A and B are shown apart, each in its own frame.
Chain A
Amino acid sequence: MGSNNKWVDVCSRDDLQPNSGVCALVEDQQVAIFYMLEDETVFAINNYDPFGKVNVLSRGLIGDIQGEPMVSSPLYKQHFSLRTGLCVEDKMVKVNTYGVRITGNRVEVNLYNNTPWGEAT
């Protein structure tokens, strides 16, 4: 499926939380969007915590483990890679990742494109 036309405008850059996350609702999917200030990168993953079974990942702390950008679940502290969605503590578990980019002052999410992250144009 062509992905370029699926970019959805969700909010302005000011709505993002520096070095933290917010949640957007895109076609009934809860999308956690994280914004790393130092290198101006954004990441998007599904907001659902597969361990706690509730929608909270956007409220987790972000950082890196050996360079890999991560979010840790606010409930039971498992780490998920912001690039791949893979869980560090349990390699069988993965959350969905999505495309996200900042275009000018707007933030856009693409549910069908999970490769490019942090693309600022």
Chain B
Amino acid sequence: MSNKQTLVVIGNGMVGQNFLVSLMASDIKDNYEVVTFCEETLPAYDRVHLSEYFAGKSADDLSLMEAGFFEDNNITIHIGDKASIIDRSNKTVTSEKGVEIAYDKLVLATGSRAFVPPIPGHDRKGCIAYRTIDDLDEMMSAAKTSKVGAVVGGGLLGLEAAKALQDLNLKTHVVQFSPRLMAAQLDAGGAGLLASKIEDLGISVLTGKNTIQIVDGDTCKHKMIFADGGELEADMILYSAGIRPRDELANASGLKIADRSGVVINDNCLTSDEDIYAIGECASWNDQTFGLVAPGYAMARTVVDHLTGGNETFKGANMSTKLKLNGVDVASIGDAHASTPGSLVYTYQNGVDGIYKRLVVSQDNKLLLGAVLVGDASGYPTLSQYYLNRIELPTNPDSLILPSRSDESVGLGPDALPASAQICSCFDVTKGDICTSIEGGCTTLGALKDETKASTGCGGCAALLKSVLNCELEKAGFDVNTDICEHFAYTRQDLYNLVKVEEIKTFAELIAKHGSGKGCEICKQAVGSILASYWNEYILKDAHVGVQDTNDTFLANMQKDGTYSVVPRMTGGEVTPEGLIAIGQIAKKYGLYTKVTGGQRVDLFGARVDQLPPIWQELIDAGFESGHAYGKSLRTVKSCVGSTWCRFGVDDSVGLAVKLENRYKGLRAPHKIKFAVSGCTRECAEAQSKDIGIIAVEGGWNLYVCGNGGMKPRHGDLFATNLDKETLIKYIDRVLTFYVQTADRMQRTSVWMENMEGGLDYLKSVVIDDKLEICNQLETQMQRVVDTYQCEWKTTIADESKLKRFRTFVNSDKHDENIIFIEERGQIRPANIEERELALAEEA
């Protein structure tokens, strides 16, 4: 018999799950037998990023569940089963499927439902709420037979839903009841500008429209009839006109419900029953409900604390928001409507660039009460910090929204923030928490994120987190020295620019002009790589050979015994029988070990340095080229068999992979680059784990960027969808050249992206919107590399003077007698040290 109490959680949405995770991380996790009811067919997923489902994210990607979470923590979950009765006198919960559980403690986390206006015709087929993954599946299937879509509701969610409809290729309208968009957050000026920006995206905006009926349409499936007599036809209608707390179960069990709906809770998140808590969107605190995830997480923490006997309380929440609509920046902080008595307002409007900013400050001009930003939300992090931490404003508060006309920065340095300043509101991480982790040794962004979870939610705090990190490191006397090494007081990016601007062609010239000493393996390799990326000259030229790493010097990978491996290119993993036979014969002739690599090609191991040229001569004669397995350069473009053979294939993935590999082969970069192309979303080529991943879909090709496997795997980010080949190649040209120009040495695209201020959105703005106006230059640079490609092995074999280098000894034809092979499974392997000593002793 266990003396555990039973704790039941109703609802496994974002907040219910967050509660379970916090509970399992607490000291009291073993005090309870935990059971949870999950009405949906999937356990908790990330509703905040729901719209990314349309952009290609799968239910799996959105899942909030770590594998094995329920099993490992002994939690019983009833999936697809809804709790239907709470019997408070007997303390039991009964579900629709008939499960009955006696509880000691009960947590309600039933969330909200989308509000559907109760007008005639609201439940016609194809009229859908926008809340769950099931809703999205329904939308996707309805979209197949639809041309026009309408979204009822022009708030934050409605606009996001409109973008989703547009991504489904529907002509899209937003129908808003009130006279302006985002009425809860924006003032008239901001809303007007937003409406014009939304229209620029190709979405039509109808405001002040009260829908009174939906009937059969003439040209579309439905017709919406408005109170003012107007009409709008659409094939599909989405409701996103607000949310209503799901308090029906609580209500039926007699718990106190707020006048404006929601289960009433106190500061400990307890309902009117002292064994029942309510958290998340279903709860009403001080007559307020919260339609954001962060307050729900704060409530979840409060309950765990209360269960452990602590006295943390829920104190309300910051309802500031930032809209993540492609191309349109909108943010609203605090009292945007200036409804605080005596408040003062500053407004900046720039009709030319489409920017609107408004500050609401206290009567004494000292505190920020609210703000609205449209068209340029870059000031959001700074303003939020002024607002949240009640930091005194500068003498001229308007300097915070006026464009800076000089170099003077009006940003709030991270140093000015108190330790209590909340940096990440999703996970309630303060500057103090971050400093503690930094002192504890988390000195990289990645480590900080792992340790504190900061910036792993909505991502809105990433830039701030980074500046806090840098500032703290600097203060701690850490060298945030970005010098590449003692020989150059420059970053890799600086060196790249010097090479480019001053047209420097050799390491000797660069170090003479801008460095000191002789160089070392760090700067030599980095500069060698920069020169190769930019000029793409033959890397074994006399001026370059001394700065190459061993593998590049010998155009092969050195193995543990000093021999080399040989990897011929097999574009897209495709190889003819003749090619395979030739490789087999060459391997046999030189006694090499052969293995199929993880990169879809064949590697030949155990070649002595003097054997490399003749082996390559034979490979080249058989039609092969260097595979650059030795370079920080393009490695492989993996492919699946694609539409040519596969019954599911949507397009010719092998063909595209071959084309791409031929285009980018030889491109040298800060680190190695890998691609893959899959012929359909089954993703047999594992494209989403590559620096550049491409998947064929009905409308074209979807592009993923900055993924990798290896030591710290990272899922690629969906970058653009439904591309034709030409645009796809353009985007890849730009992403890769931008990477080559701006990454640190030995930085894979994944880390590059994670450290980039503004992250994915910024990269998109550079590559897709040409924000920096460099796309032309990026493409030209890539084209130069493509045009100057040469097979380094072909060039080497043709040059007698280069072949001199491929000798074991300058003064003897003997071989290194330390290289000894043992036979295993029918092939050679290097002898281990004992075997080697034994063999050498026998010889002597």
B814 at the interface (CB under 8 A from A): yes
- Closest residue of chain A to B546, judged by CB? A19
Interface string of B84-105 (1 = CB under 8 A from A): 0000000000000000000000
Contacts of B589 in A (CB 8 A): none
A45 at the interface (CB under 8 A from B): no
Q: Are A64 and B520 in contact (CB under 8 A)?
A: yes
B542 at the interface (CB under 8 A from A): yes
- Kindly provide the distance from the CB of B684 to the nearest chain A CB, expressed in whole angstroms: 36
Interface string of B793-820 (1 = CB under 8 A from A): 0000000000011011111101010110
Contacts of B561 in A (CB 8 A): 54
B271 at the interface (CB under 8 A from A): no
Q: Are B545 and A17 in contact (CB under 8 A)?
A: yes
Distance, CA A39 to CA B524, complexed state (A): 18
How many A-B residue pairs lie within 8 Å, measured between CB atoms?
100
A50 at the interface (CB under 8 A from B): no
Distance, CA A30 to CA B554, complexed state (A): 19
B517 at the interface (CB under 8 A from A): yes
Q: Are A24 and B809 in contact (CB under 8 A)?
A: yes
Q: For chain B residues 537-558, which have a beta carbon within 8 Å of chain A? A: 542, 545-551, 553-554, 558
A10, A19, A59: the one within 8 Å of B558 (CB): A59
Q: Are A55 and B816 in contact (CB under 8 A)?
A: yes
- Kindly provide the distance from the CB of B94 to the nearest chain A CB, expressed in whole angstroms: 65
Distance, CA A24 to CA B549, complexed state (A): 21
Q: Are B804 and A15 in contact (CB under 8 A)?
A: yes
Q: Are B520 and A24 in contact (CB under 8 A)?
A: no
Contacts of B558 in A (CB 8 A): 56, 59, 74-75
> A52, A59, A61, A77 — which one has the most chain B CB atoms within 10 A of its CB?
A61
B525 at the interface (CB under 8 A from A): yes
- Kindly provide the distance from the CB of B449 to the nearest chain A CB, expressed in whole angstroms: 29
A18, A59, A61: the one within 8 Å of B521 (CB): A61
Given A11-B811, A25-B814, A64-B518, are A17 and B486 also a contact pair (CB < 8 Å)?
no
Distance, CA A15 to CA B810, complexed state (A): 7
B562 at the interface (CB under 8 A from A): yes
Given A20-B545, A54-B818, are A64 and B517 also a contact pair (CB < 8 Å)?
yes
Distance, CA A26 to CA B562, complexed state (A): 20
- Closest residue of chain B to A36, judged by CB? B518
- Closest residue of chain B to A77, judged by CB? B521
- Closest residue of chain A to B833, judged by CB? A53
- Kindly provide the distance from the CB of B529 to the nearest chain A CB, expressed in whole angstroms: 13
> A33, A66, A74 — which one has the most chain B CB atoms within 10 A of its CB?
A74
Q: Are B546 and A17 in contact (CB under 8 A)?
A: yes
Distance, CA A61 to CA B548, complexed state (A): 7
A23 at the interface (CB under 8 A from B): yes
Q: For chain B residues 489-544, which have a beta carbon within 8 Å of chain A? A: 508, 517-521, 523-525, 542
- Closest residue of chain B to A74, judged by CB? B550
- Kindly provide the distance from the CB of B43 to the nearest chain A CB, expressed in whole angstroms: 46
Size of chain B's interface in residues, with CB distance under 8 A?
39
Given A25-B809, A52-B560, A62-B546, are A70 and B520 also a contact pair (CB < 8 Å)?
yes
Distance, CA A102 to CA B300, complexed state (A): 77
Distance, CA A30 to CA B545, complexed state (A): 22
Interface string of A61-72 (1 = CB under 8 A from B): 111111101101
Given A24-B811, A38-B518, A55-B818, are A61 and B562 also a contact pair (CB < 8 Å)?
no
- Kindly provide the distance from the CB of B544 to the nearest chain A CB, expressed in whole angstroms: 10
A85 at the interface (CB under 8 A from B): no
Contacts of B508 in A (CB 8 A): 38
- Kindly provide the distance from the CB of B477 to the nearest chain A CB, expressed in whole angstroms: 21
B523, B550, B810: the one within 8 Å of A23 (CB): B810
Distance, CA A77 to CA B550, complexed state (A): 11
> B545, B546, B819 — which one has the most chain A CB atoms within 10 A of its CB?
B546
Given A17-B545, A19-B546, are A54 and B562 also a contact pair (CB < 8 Å)?
yes
- Kindly provide the distance from the CB of A108 to the nearest chain B CB, expressed in whole angstroms: 11
Q: Are B818 and A17 in contact (CB under 8 A)?
A: no
Given A30-B816, A56-B558, are A23 and B521 also a contact pair (CB < 8 Å)?
no
- Kindly provide the distance from the CB of B565 to the nearest chain A CB, expressed in whole angstroms: 14
Contacts of B523 in A (CB 8 A): 63
- Kindly provide the distance from the CB of A106 to the nearest chain B CB, expressed in whole angstroms: 11
- Closest residue of chain B to A70, judged by CB? B520
Given A11-B811, A55-B818, A61-B524, are A20 and B560 also a contact pair (CB < 8 Å)?
no
A60 at the interface (CB under 8 A from B): yes
Distance, CA A25 to CA B815, complexed state (A): 10
Distance, CA A115 to CA B486, complexed state (A): 28
Contacts of B524 in A (CB 8 A): 61, 63
- Closest residue of chain A to B563, judged by CB? A54
A to B CB contacts below 8 Å, 27 in the list = A11-B811, A15-B804, A17-B545, A18-B545, A18-B546, A19-B546, A19-B547, A20-B545, A20-B553, A23-B808, A23-B809, A24-B811, A30-B809, A33-B810, A37-B546, A38-B518, A54-B560, A56-B550, A56-B558, A61-B547, A63-B520, A64-B519, A64-B520, A65-B486, A66-B486, A69-B518, A74-B550
User: 6 other contacts beyond A54-B561, A64-B518, with CB at 8 A cut-off?
Assistant: A19-B546, A22-B807, A23-B809, A24-B810, A52-B560, A64-B517
Binding site for A on B (CB under 8 A): 486-487, 508, 517-521, 523-525, 542, 545-551, 553-554, 558, 560-562, 609, 804-805, 807-812, 814, 816, 818-819, 833
Kindly list the 6 A-B residue pairs having the minimum CB-CB distance in the complex, ordered from nearest. Answer: A19-B546, A74-B550, A63-B520, A61-B521, A54-B562, A64-B518
